[in-house]
Chain A
Amino acid sequence: MNTVAICGNPNSGKTTLFNALTGSHQQVGNWPGVTVEKKVGKFKAAEKTISIVDLPGTYSLTANSIDERIARDFIIKENPDAVIVVVDQTNLERNLYLVLEILEMKKKVVLAFNMSDETQRRGISINTENLAKELGVKIVKTSASKKEGLNELKQAIIQTLENGKETQLFSYSEKFMKYLSQTEEILKKHHSDNFVDYGWTALKILEGDTEIKDSVSQETMQDIDKLTASMSQEFKEDPSIIVSEEKYKFISSLSKKYVTRKKVNESWSDKVDKVVTNKWLGIPIFLLVMWLTFTLTFTIGDIFNGMLDEGFVALGEWAGAKLGEGMLSSFIVNGIIGGVGSVVVFLPNIFLLFLFISFLGDVGYMPRAAFVMDKLMTKIGLHGKSFIPMILGFGCSIPAIMSTRTLESKRDRIVTILVNPFMSCAARLPVYTLVAGIFFPQNAGFVIFTLYVLGILISIISALIFKKTLFKNEESVFIMELPPYRLPSIKSILSEAGMRAFMFLKKAGTVIFAAVIVIWLLASLPAGVEYAGEESIIGIFGKIISPIFKPLGFGFWQASVSLFFGFLAKEVVTGTMGTLFGGEEILSQVLPQFFNSVSAYAFLVFTLLYTPCVATIGTIKQEIGAKWALFSVIYSFAAAYVVSFIVFTIGSIIF
């Protein structure tokens, strides 16, 4: 089976085109070693089945960001039979930059010239026939959102696979070509048979590609360095800059020959943007959008949450009645059904949150929000683009941390990830609801609200501390496209939100399931002890660590054990307390014997701030390494301890 890769700039409609080509024949996995999603699909054309891999959207292939490295490595190492490059015709010149880079990799290429309808509306006409001839590839005009040009694209892919030709390097300015061919000569002299393509290798070395540079001998590099030194002198520029300039010069010449633009009236997108990012209205609109997102997520979500909750309770009762009393029964009813159920009830919230987030993303609002908020976010040590992960953090830290990939600078990315777990995720809510309901029945809502605010405050303070201490002199960059507003397709938003919800379910479900079994075992062993009693392993362990929490007001073993298991997943705290105190229904009578209102609040503060759950730590490790994951564990535990201590001490004096 032939494999083709599909790549393109962000906002070029690549994902919509991929979905339109493959329909429902898709598989989502991860790229090896990174948490970036890898989508693979299939389509049929001319009796052939072709496998198609969706590469991350990138502006170039210089291997600077994770996305660029993935796309590049796939094209070089996996060697797909052909590459489809999706081009946003309304933004031809910048899109052609990536096209040139891929053509130079000597691949068989098909260009999908997307956004045809919008291009027409904007008065842009492109002579694709002659452009295709000059580039030596097939160009197919498509409109992914309207499913136009799909058959033609499939035909072109088949034809290109059968008899497409690899392109030759383009002719750049004479001055530049002289140095390029000299570099090629040096390579040929030192490495007579190492490279498949000397021209491309030479170009990459001039561009300063570290990976390619490392693949040639030191001797070679010495010769090349001499050459680039004189090149820099002649151009008065760094070679890597010269390469980009040469590419854009070539693109300009193409654009002059084949593109004509008519003056048209201001588009509706421009009109909308004048209001949305207006000097006075920008911030109020941003706040309104955020408020709407959250209100809708929680009000609509709660309806379904209630239904799911009742369903699990009914299921538990039914299973309990069938199984009767006993160890196995308690394991299945309280452990598995109760434990897994406590996660599944969040599913409607997660689904809705991602529904709104992907709507805002597809419509083009997200970059505007970053534009509007950047100055404020910078003031608190973050970046305009950090706000999306921070908002997502209210849902679940795992996708939130994964979404920091849009941040280019390492500093911004690490800081955003480290402070993210302080945004109170949905899993902590059941703990607040339970404890606040018992100790602050009159104003539980307000108490929960103060916890969310406290989380935001601690994340701001932490970001400021990190910026001033860990990353004093590191640069932060803000260079971002503001794509036109576009009407999103309902189907793609639904499928995106559905996929997210499924991944949450899968990840949380497996961890919770494991946690339940571990708790059950530790609470039942050694054989013969009272379930979760003082003599069980769990009880002994709790007694050892409980003195640590004495200064915070909850130095009894049940609290320690609950918090310990909360490390597996925060909502497990509630379930564990239920188990340890003899059932969730009697907690309202038992808990006041252990807590007063001040220590109960201190306990909630601790739950809010302490060490993120295992799955989150795993994600941090995957994204920025074990060192920072460990740092996050220690820092958040310390922050939780200090803040809870202050809350308990001051609270005890006042109340």
Chain B
Amino acid sequence: MILSECNPGFSGYVKSIMGEGNVKKRLLVMGVTPGSMITVVKKAPFGDPIEITIKNYSLTIRKEEASYITVEKGDEKK
């Protein structure tokens, strides 16, 4: 599943981060690493960006960035 397609209320873990370079590195620095628990909290009033919880804090990213993140439903793995 791709994070940008998940609705608010989704809860699962990060499988992988696709793409490369700057965006990927920044997502990693902010703690979006494979295996981390991730939930989709809400969407902004115009549907984009989205708010997620990762490593027990709130982060907002655009759907564009979310489309690089693949996720899976369920509990923390790895």
Minimum C-beta distance from B76 to chain A (A): 10
Q: For residue A283, which residues in chain B have a CB less than 8 angstroms away from its CB?
A: 45
- Cα A261 to Cα B24 in complex, Å, equals 29
B42 in complex: contacting residue of A277, A374, A376, A384, CB < 8 Å: A277
Q: Which residues of chain B from 22 to 55 have any CB-CB distance to chain A below 8 Å in the complex?
A: 22-31, 33-36, 42-49, 51, 55
- Whether the pair A244, B33 counts as a contact (CB closer than 8 A) is yes
Q: For residue A245, which residues in chain B have a CB less than 8 angstroms away from its CB?
A: 28, 33-34
- Cα A447 to Cα B49 in complex, Å, equals 37
Q: For residue A47, which residues in chain B have a CB less than 8 angstroms away from its CB?
A: none
- Whether the pair A480, B23 counts as a contact (CB closer than 8 A) is no
- Whether the pair B28, A244 counts as a contact (CB closer than 8 A) is yes
- Whether the pair A59, B58 counts as a contact (CB closer than 8 A) is no
Q: What is the chain B residue whose CB lies nearest that of A374? A: B49
Q: For residue B57, which residues in chain A have a CB less than 8 angstroms away from its CB?
A: 90-91, 94, 481, 483
Judge whether A556 is part of the interface by a CB distance below 8 angstroms: no
Q: For residue A238, which residues in chain B have a CB less than 8 angstroms away from its CB?
A: 20, 24
- Cα A282 to Cα B31 in complex, Å, equals 27
- Cα A483 to Cα B25 in complex, Å, equals 21
- Whether the pair A372, B56 counts as a contact (CB closer than 8 A) is no
- Cα A64 to Cα B28 in complex, Å, equals 14
A248 in complex: contacting residue of B22, B25, B33, B45, CB < 8 Å: B33
Q: What is the chain B residue whose CB lies nearest that of A11? A: B57
B45 in complex: contacting residue of A241, A261, A280, A475, CB < 8 Å: A280
Judge whether A292 is part of the interface by a CB distance below 8 angstroms: no
Judge whether A578 is part of the interface by a CB distance below 8 angstroms: no
Judge whether B70 is part of the interface by a CB distance below 8 angstroms: no
Judge whether B62 is part of the interface by a CB distance below 8 angstroms: yes
Q: For residue B61, which residues in chain A have a CB less than 8 angstroms away from its CB?
A: 478-480
- Whether the pair A367, B60 counts as a contact (CB closer than 8 A) is yes
Chain A 172-200, CB within 8 Å of chain B: the 1/0 string? 00000000000000000000000000000
Q: What is the chain B residue whose CB lies nearest that of A91? A: B57
Minimum C-beta distance from A443 to chain B (A): 35
Judge whether B59 is part of the interface by a CB distance below 8 angstroms: yes
- Whether the pair B42, A248 counts as a contact (CB closer than 8 A) is no
Q: What is the chain B residue whose CB lies nearest that of A373? A: B44
Chain A 265-301, CB within 8 Å of chain B: the 1/0 string? 0000000000001111011000000000000000000
- Cα A249 to Cα B42 in complex, Å, equals 28
- Whether the pair B34, A477 counts as a contact (CB closer than 8 A) is no
- Whether the pair B49, A62 counts as a contact (CB closer than 8 A) is no
B49 in complex: contacting residue of A60, A90, A241, A478, CB < 8 Å: A478
- Whether the pair A479, B56 counts as a contact (CB closer than 8 A) is no
- Whether the pair B44, A375 counts as a contact (CB closer than 8 A) is yes
Q: Which residues of chain A from 348 to 381 have any CB-CB distance to chain B below 8 Å in the complex?
A: 367, 371-372, 374-376
Q: For residue B62, which residues in chain A have a CB less than 8 angstroms away from its CB?
A: 374, 478
- Cα A293 to Cα B61 in complex, Å, equals 27
- Cα A315 to Cα B44 in complex, Å, equals 53
Q: For residue A248, which residues in chain B have a CB less than 8 angstroms away from its CB?
A: 28, 31, 33, 36
- Whether the pair A94, B34 counts as a contact (CB closer than 8 A) is no
- Whether the pair A371, B44 counts as a contact (CB closer than 8 A) is yes
Q: Please give the number of chain A residues whose Cβ is less than 8 angstroms from any Cβ of chain B in the complex.
A: 41
Q: For residue B30, which residues in chain A have a CB less than 8 angstroms away from its CB?
A: 59, 94, 479, 481
Q: For residue B36, which residues in chain A have a CB less than 8 angstroms away from its CB?
A: 248
- Cα A93 to Cα B53 in complex, Å, equals 13
Minimum C-beta distance from B39 to chain A (A): 13
Among A249, A279, A283, A372, the most chain B Cβ lie within 10 Å of the Cβ of A279
- Whether the pair A282, B28 counts as a contact (CB closer than 8 A) is no
Minimum C-beta distance from A473 to chain B (A): 14
Chain A 229-251, CB within 8 Å of chain B: the 1/0 string? 00000000010110011001100
Q: For residue A252, which residues in chain B have a CB less than 8 angstroms away from its CB?
A: 35
Chain A 78-119, CB within 8 Å of chain B: the 1/0 string? 000000000000110110010000000000000000000000
- Whether the pair A372, B45 counts as a contact (CB closer than 8 A) is yes
B31 in complex: contacting residue of A97, A241, A280, A376, CB < 8 Å: A97
- Cα A283 to Cα B45 in complex, Å, equals 7
Minimum C-beta distance from B26 to chain A (A): 5
- Whether the pair B56, A282 counts as a contact (CB closer than 8 A) is no
Q: What is the chain A residue whose CB lies nearest that of B46? A: A375
- Whether the pair B60, A241 counts as a contact (CB closer than 8 A) is no
Q: For residue A478, which residues in chain B have a CB less than 8 angstroms away from its CB?
A: 49, 60-62, 64-65
Among B47, B57, B64, the most chain A Cβ lie within 10 Å of the Cβ of B57
Among B20, B42, B44, the most chain A Cβ lie within 10 Å of the Cβ of B44
Q: For residue B47, which residues in chain A have a CB less than 8 angstroms away from its CB?
A: 375
- Whether the pair B29, A371 counts as a contact (CB closer than 8 A) is no
Q: For residue A367, which residues in chain B have a CB less than 8 angstroms away from its CB?
A: 60
Q: For residue B58, which residues in chain A have a CB less than 8 angstroms away from its CB?
A: 481-484
- Cα A646 to Cα B78 in complex, Å, equals 65
- Whether the pair B25, A384 counts as a contact (CB closer than 8 A) is no
Q: For residue A241, which residues in chain B have a CB less than 8 angstroms away from its CB?
A: 17, 20, 24-25, 28
- Whether the pair A94, B33 counts as a contact (CB closer than 8 A) is no
Q: What is the chain A residue whose CB lies nearest that of B33? A: A248
Among B26, B33, B43, B59, the most chain A Cβ lie within 10 Å of the Cβ of B33
- Whether the pair A282, B45 counts as a contact (CB closer than 8 A) is yes
Q: For residue A481, which residues in chain B have a CB less than 8 angstroms away from its CB?
A: 30, 57-60
Q: What is the chain B residue whose CB lies nearest that of A379? A: B46
Q: For residue A279, which residues in chain B have a CB less than 8 angstroms away from its CB?
A: 42-43, 45
Minimum C-beta distance from B27 to chain A (A): 6
Q: What is the chain B residue whose CB lies nearest that of A383? A: B62
- Cα A91 to Cα B56 in complex, Å, equals 7
Contacts from A to B (Cβ < 8 Å): 59-60, 62, 64, 90-91, 93-94, 97, 238, 240-241, 244-245, 248-249, 252, 261, 277-280, 282-283, 367, 371-372, 374-376, 384, 408, 475, 477-484
Contacts from B to A (Cβ < 8 Å): 17, 20, 22-31, 33-36, 42-49, 51, 55-62, 64-65
List 22 interface pairs A-B (beta carbons < 8 Å), by A numbering. Answer: A90-B56, A90-B57, A94-B55, A94-B57, A238-B20, A240-B25, A241-B17, A244-B25, A244-B33, A245-B28, A248-B33, A371-B60, A372-B45, A374-B62, A375-B44, A375-B48, A375-B49, A376-B46, A478-B61, A478-B65, A479-B59, A479-B61
Q: A64-B26, A374-B49 are in contact. List 19 more A-B contacts (CB 8 A).
A: A60-B29, A240-B25, A241-B20, A244-B25, A248-B31, A261-B56, A279-B43, A282-B44, A375-B48, A375-B49, A477-B22, A478-B49, A478-B61, A478-B62, A479-B59, A481-B59, A482-B51, A482-B59, A482-B60
